[in-house]
Structure 1
Amino acid sequence: MADKSFLHWPFFEDRHRDLAEKLENWCQQNLPVDHSDVDQACKTLVARLGEAGWLRHSAIDPDNPGVLDVRSLCILRETLARHDGLADFAFAMQGLGTGAISLFGTEEQRNWLRKTREGKALSAFALSEPKSGSDVANMDMTAVRDGDEFILNGEKTWISNGGIADVYCVFARTGEAPGAKGISAFVVPADLPGFSIKERLHVIAPHPLATLSFENVRIPASSLIGEAGQGFRIAMSVLDVFRATVGAAALGFARRALDETVARVQDRSLFGAPLFDLQMVQGHVADMALDVDAAALLVYRAAWTKDSGAPRVTREAAMAKLYATDRAQEVIDKAVQIHGGDGVRQGSVVEGLYREIRALRIYEGASDVQKVVIARQTMGR
């Protein structure tokens, strides 16, 4: 059983503890799901998460707009990840994909939130391009104004939920200024003429990913999110909210790895004694527990800071994402080592965690990029 003592830290309120308890019970009854068909698994998970009401936390209520509670988002991602990495993915994409609409969308655009919060539509965040992953300002995709419409041309790649999403938040160059100041954000339904899936991408932990193609895709001017030329700021504001939740997902993976290790070293005997009696194993367990708690402190500090009204938590979120994902990789690697041959057996829990964690150190800002962000924030730039 995963440690829950962190829920009594001063970062949390009773409503967070209640949320964690109810979600834990739901997860035990509903997860994991069958992953043999990843697309269908994600659709099933979104539907179930919507029916159970968990997706109400992923976006603001369009009928009663407020703010996103980042601590709740982190608790949800940590708990879901601990039980089923694909469940965490399905929940996270509903939030990230509609984040721009929650933060900057019009009343009309927020109609999409009624569907995504109920699990009746899947969403996606289309930012990365073949030539611009971490360097968002270098994007090539264009959105040209034509009367009451914009015409989209270009490609997006490594898009989560690509190929199964019903609506995409798409970033494109509108040319108000060079670089980052000439990018805008748009709501783009998936059924428009000229939009297609160029390629489905397959990775070590199966998730629905794709390269998207836009060829003279026409969208109404009302699809613009916020103001023209503000797309980069919108994207960074969304990541400011959701980046800490990536750390929370990593924390969930790390907690599961620690739980599996604790059970292993108590049940497994070596040289006539429990594996835990070896001092080297005790040292590994101690390191793992330390990394888990330190990551949790950084993740929930960032979430609490945002929920307390800070306009930006760029530094705190970058630290949380960097440390939690990097240390989770180390925790899981130790778990694999302690499990020996079983640790690399396909289908084992720790083998699955080993594949799941690696991408988290890349997406939503690679670890090296987070170091640049932290350094610049520390220097006051």
Structure 2
Amino acid sequence: MPAFSLEPAQTAWCAELRTLAADRLRPLAEKGEPGRVNRPLVAELGRLGLSARLFTSGAVDLCLMRESLAYACTEAETALALQGLGAHPVHAHGTPAQRERWLPGVADGSVVAAFALSEPGAGSDAAALSLAAERDGPGGSGWRLTGEKCWISNAPEADFYTVFARTTPGAGSRGVTAFLVPADRPGLTGSALDMLSPHPIGALRFDAVPVTADDVLGEADRGFRVAMGTLNLFRPSVGAFAVGMAQAALDATLAHTAERDAFGGKLRDLQVVAHQVAEMALRTEAARLMVHAAATAYDSGAPDVPKRVAMAKLLATETAQYVVDTAVQLHGARALRRGHLLEHLYREVRAPRIYEGASEVQRGIIARELYKEHTEHTEHTERAEHAEHNDLEAR
């Protein structure tokens, strides 16, 4: 299937998701407390079968879900995404016992998951993690986790955390291990952070928290692969979240400028307004296409996935910021009132440019992959020319 084309069944599913989000999820979201995990909303996502799809769908379906939910209810979209982010490492790298213990609860909405990577001193530089995993005694088979995590979505209310800790000091990304840490482990405490974005975010403190080999996700000292593999899947879907918000802002702007009287006509009759709306639509569609292309590349196992998903997240999140900001400008002061759709989107749209790799990090990834491709192409060309030269000499 081309990246720019959706099948009729997919289009119908997206429309169904928008309706579900508006009719069944938004009322639950409106009853939630900002900055707290909305467990009734998480449970409803489970009842609707959306949480279970996190473990059976590819990147394309994940992006379609996130864009469709974001259009009508950003809280539902974020709740679903956070479940996937926290639980995907268990699904992809967990032991049978780990998967059996935790994934059914995530799927039915009774268990809340969280992805604990960032630290106060290691946000964008994920390889600089300092949460220490020290061996539990001489020759011990377990570890004790000591340190802090910060900016962790669903903390401190999650039921379990996918935690990344340093098991080998001084080894950079090669000395990090991923652990599945239940929230009731002794020594694990947390606190909520009051953030601009309304979804739950907190800090975690580890005071010699015990973990064993049974808690490792994947292999010891190979946890950075677990983290990056998870982010490669979820980064294009962050872009899909952004596209959903941009589309909602665009549609609100179309309705407003078509109805609003100004300067002897409708706002849409002003060329400057019409051109701004056209630019909003152009950028939104371009971002959507790049998101779909990146998701298709991920599902097909393309070799350039890191570059594509970085491009998709970067373009889509920066685009959404532009579109929402322009929508606020065209609506005027009414868009700044508490409770207005655009006031809500204006607060929501800022964070995706930072989390799961800030825009600057994405640019770094893109440049690194481009130079890597250039070097590989150059070396391949030189080898081919050398072989041809030797062949001619042999003749």
- TM-score band by shorter chain is over 0.9
Instruction: Work out whether 1:180 is the aligned partner of 2:169.
Output: no
Identify which range, 265-274 or 27-36, moves more after superposition: 27-36
In 2: Cα distance, 1:11 partner to 1:316 partner: 18
Q: Deviation at 1:176?
A: 7.2
Q: Secondary structure at the match of 1:289?
A: helix
Deviations, residues 170-206 of structure 1 (Å, cap 9, x unaligned): 0000007611100000000001111001x31111122
Pairing 1:132-281 to 2, within 5 Å after superposition = 132-146=122-136, 147-175=140-168, 178-197=171-190, 199-281=191-273
Residue matched to 1:363? 355
Query: Structure 1 stretch 336-345 or stretch 31-40: which is displaced more?
Result: 31-40
Instruction: Tell me, in whole angstroms, the C-alpha distance in 2 between the residues paired with 1:11 and 1:243.
Output: 21
Note the alpha carbon deviations across 1:3-28, whole angstroms, 9 max, x for none.
xxxx9965444553343233123123
Moved more, 286-295 or 143-152: 143-152
Gaps of 5+ in 1: 1-6, 61-67
Amino acid in the other structure paired with 2:34 = V
Q: State the superposition RMSD in angstroms.
A: 1.8
Quick one: distance in 1 between partners of 2:207 and 2:74?
34
Secondary structure of 1:222's counterpart equals helix
Task: Note the 1:57-206 alignment, pairs <5 A.
Answer: 57-60=53-56, 68-111=57-100, 112-146=102-136, 147-175=140-168, 178-197=171-190, 199-206=191-198
Q: For the Cα contact (< 8 Å) 1:42–1:87, is it kept in 2?
A: no
* 1:324 aligned onto 2:316: yes
More helix by share: 2
In structure 2, distance between residues paired with 1:121 and 1:225: 18
Cα pair 1:161 1:208 within 8 Å, conserved? yes
Which residue identity lines up with residue 91 of structure 2 in the other structure? S
Correspondence for 2:14: 20
Identity %: 44
Q: Does 1:55 align with 2:45?
A: no
Question: Quick one: which amino acid aligns to residue 90 of structure 1?
Answer: A
Q: Per the alignment, in what secondary structure is the counterpart of residue 122 of structure 2?
A: coil
Which secondary structure state, in structure 1, belongs to the residue aligned with residue 349 of structure 2? helix
The residue type paired with residue 336 of structure 1 is V
CA–CA distance in structure 1, aligned partners of residues 2 and 210 of structure 2: 51
1:289-328 alignment runs, 5 A limit: 289-310=281-302, 313-328=305-320
Report the residue type matching 1:367 in the other structure: S
Q: Tell me which structure has the larger Cα radius of gyration.
A: 2
Contact 2:18 2:71 in 1 (8 A): no
- The TM-score normalised by the length of structure 1 is 0.92
- TM-score, normalised to structure 2, is 0.89
Paired residues, what number? 367
1:238: Cα distance to partner?
Answer: 0.5
Q: Is there any run of 5+ residues in structure 2 with no aligned partner, and where?
A: 374-395
Q: Does 1:348 align with 2:340?
A: yes
